[in-house]
Amino acid sequence: MIAFIEGTVRQIRSDSVVVQTGGIGFEILTPDPAAVSSGRQGLWHIYESIREDGWTLYGFTTEADYQVFLSLIGVKGIGPKSALQILTKAGGRRILEALEKEDVSALKALPGIGPKTASQMLLDMRGRLVKMRPEAEPAAAGTRQWQETVSALENFGYRSQDIAPLEPELASRELPVQDMIREALRLLAKRKGV
């Protein structure tokens, strides 16, 4: 199972990106392919859909959107393609707001969602996702980037007690997430004497 893919964006398509890593190009369906630039490094949290007619990768640049996607596909009647369409149209933040307000009409406005599925979404998703709701005040860019870096490092298997000492040095820096992850890995290797 693939947890994430980090690599260089080689192509940007209407609903996907092609990411090269380890000499292999992976096509990743993503809600907002235009948010990345060709030639830049990126990290995508991956959901694999393996069926008899094909293998599809769905990727998300934030852990929050990935968690919303996983919760969407857990709702009866919503598959990976529908969940991606919903995230593409509304974004994770709008979905969380609708769930928090129990706004069935906002949920029904999502692509492919009728009254029955909207009610099912409220039942299945509300408790799990409202706690992930972003704070009203957006965090400083460096803080958000640091949080995504910590998430990526934990996915790599690093423990929080190894990551925490890096925060004073990295959290306040205005680096893209990929560069912050790279710098954190360099510092972790240096501290271990590698």
Share of the chain above pLDDT 70, in %: 91
Task: Write the CB contacts of 185 (distance below 8 Å, at least 6 apart in sequence).
Answer: 153, 156
CATH superfamily, domain 63-132, is: 5' to 3' exonuclease, C-terminal subdomain (1.10.150.20)
Question: Tokens 């360099």 sit at which residue?
Answer: 186
pLDDT tens digits, residue range 91-112?
Answer: 888 898 888 888 899 999 999 8
The class that CATH gives domain 4-60 is mainly beta
Check: CB of residue 119 under 8 Å from CB of residue 104. yes
If residue 38 lies in a helix (H) or strand (E), which one and from where to where?
Answer: none
Q: Which residue has the higher pLDDT, 123 or 127?
A: 123
d(CA 143, CA 93) in angstroms, rounded, equals 18
Q: What is the rounded average pLDDT of the residues 142-170?
A: 80
Binned at pLDDT 50, 70 and 90, residue 171 comes out as confident
Q: How many CB atoms lie within 10 A of CB 183?
A: 16
Task: Write the CB contacts of 189 (distance below 8 Å, at least 6 apart in sequence).
Answer: none
The pair phi, psi for residue 16, each rounded to 5°, is -155, 170
Task: Write the CB contacts of 31 (distance below 8 Å, at least 6 apart in sequence).
Answer: 60, 65, 84, 87, 88, 91
Closest CA to 32 of 4, 7, 59: 59
pLDDT tens digits, residue range 50-74?
Answer: 999 999 999 999 888 999 999 999 9
- The distance between the two most distant Cα atoms of the chain, rounded to a whole number of Å, is 58
What residue segments make up the domains of the chain, in order of their start?
A: 4-60, 63-132, 141-191
Name 5's bridge partners: 44
Q: What's the burial of 174, exposed, middle or buried (CB within 10 Å: 0-12/13-18/19+)?
A: exposed
Read off the tokens for 193.
Answer: 């004497």
Query: Quick one: pLDDT at residue 172?
Result: 72
**pTM of the entire predicted model:** 0.66
Name 49's bridge partners: 56
d(CA 19, CA 182) in angstroms, rounded, equals 17
Cα dist. 5→18, 27, 31, 148 in Å? 11, 11, 16, 14
